[in-house]
């Protein structure tokens, strides 16, 4: 199936939040503060509310960016729920909500980012959410968006090993397989110029993250040997050296 590439490189714009709270008054307060936050930060948030730790654990999927988790609940307490969630998801940001600070301090056991003490003020809420979103944006990669069939598909840039040009067809070799796009390599190269991609020759645009070595005039990526053209060899090696030393391309 051919795809058509869009010009934009996109960062995740929808923040997916789970609130685990068994008291209606705090759920209502949270929703009000979240609505205010969305307007002030011009941020879109998708909120899912769970009334108990058991509920989120039993129905958990790695679809959340941030979980606000009440520590004291009737069925399964927040700390137990957090331990179960961590077994399934090492990346999700956890923020505890509690009446007692001494409970929240144990959050280091489950790599919790922060905690909020009830009753939560909007200022405290916005500061904690700012911090949580900042962690997500540092962790998450940019995406390139493509039209696939009748919907928009986002390809994570860090999932792309390299892009191969075959005329007007560009093949994205990714960790999830190949994706074919009808576009020009030069145009894709321009879009990815500020990212960690570099041309090894006319036919390959390489994600420097995955280059494991250079051998016999080829760069090695995921078992493939991609030719480095003679006129690009010096610049390619300069860029690779910068990348491996910790400097971005």
Percent of the chain with pLDDT over 90: 50
Q: With CA atoms as reference, report the closest residue to 26 among 43, 49, 44.
A: 49
More confident residue, 63 or 200: 200
- Which neighbouring-strand residues pair with 160? 174
pLDDT of 249 reads 44
| Cα 203 from Cα 169, distance rounded (Å) | 11
In Å, what is the CA distance from 108 to each residue of 59, 103, 228? Answer: 24, 11, 47
Task: Compute the average pLDDT of residues 85-101.
Answer: 88
Q: Identify whether 119 is preceded by a cis peptide bond (ω within 30 of 0).
A: yes
Task: Compute the average pLDDT of residues 51-80.
Answer: 89
109-118, 138-147, 209-218: range with lowest mean pLDDT:
138-147
pLDDT of 153 reads 67
CA atoms within 13 A on the CB side of 138: 7
Full DSSP string of 52-71: SHHHHHHT--TT-SEEEEES
| Cα 38 from Cα 33, distance rounded (Å) | 9
**What is the pTM for the complete model shown?**
0.56
Q: What is the mean pLDDT of the chain?
A: 85
pLDDT of 101 reads 73
pLDDT at 146 over 70: no
| Cα 96 from Cα 80, distance rounded (Å) | 12
Exposure string over 146-165, b if 16+ CB within 10 A, otherwise e: bebeeeeeebebbebbbbbb
pLDDT of 221 reads 94
Task: Please report which helix (H) or strand (E) contains residue 198, including its range.
Answer: strand 197-201
pLDDT of 207 reads 92
Residue whose tokens read 């191969």: 164
pLDDT at 198 over 70: yes
pLDDT of 111 reads 85
pLDDT at 246 over 60: no
pLDDT band at residue 139 using 50, 70 and 90 as cut-offs: low
**Long-range contacts (CB closer than 8 Å, 24 or more residues apart) made by 230-238:** 232/199, 232/200, 232/201, 236/198, 236/199, 236/200
pLDDT at 141 over 80: no
Q: With CA atoms as reference, report the closest residue to 215 among 249, 242, 240.
A: 240
């Amino acid at each position: 199936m051919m795809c058509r590439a869009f010009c934009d490189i996109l960062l995740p714009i929808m923040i997916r939040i789970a609130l685990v709270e068994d008291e209606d008054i705090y759920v209502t307060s949270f929703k009000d503060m979240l609505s205010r936050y969305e307007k002030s930060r011009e941020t879109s948030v998708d909120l899912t509310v769970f009334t108990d730790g058991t509920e989120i654990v039993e129905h958990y999927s790695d679809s959340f960016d941030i979980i606000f988790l009440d520590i004291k609940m009737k069925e399964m307490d927040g700390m137990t729920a957090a331990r179960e969630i961590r077994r399934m998801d090492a990346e999700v940001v956890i923020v505890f909500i509690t009446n007692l600070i001494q409970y929240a301090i144990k959050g280091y056991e489950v790599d919790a980012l922060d905690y909020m003490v009830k009753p939560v003020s909007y200022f405290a809420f916005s500061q904690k959410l700012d911090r949580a979103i900042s962690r997500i944006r540092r962790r998450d990669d940019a995406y390139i968006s493509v039209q696939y069939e009748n919907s928009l598909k986002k390809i994570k840039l860090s999932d792309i090993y390299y892009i191969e040009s075959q005329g007007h067809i560009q093949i994205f070799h990714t960790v999830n397989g190949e994706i074919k796009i009808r576009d020009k390599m030069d145009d894709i190269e321009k879009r990815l110029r500020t990212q960690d991609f570099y041309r090894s020759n006319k036919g390959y645009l390489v994600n420097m993250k995955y280059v494991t070595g250079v051998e016999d005039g080829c760069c090695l990526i995921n078992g493939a040997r991609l030719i480095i053209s003679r006129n690009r060899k010096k610049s390619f090696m300069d860029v690779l050296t910068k990348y491996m030393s910790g400097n971005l391309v």
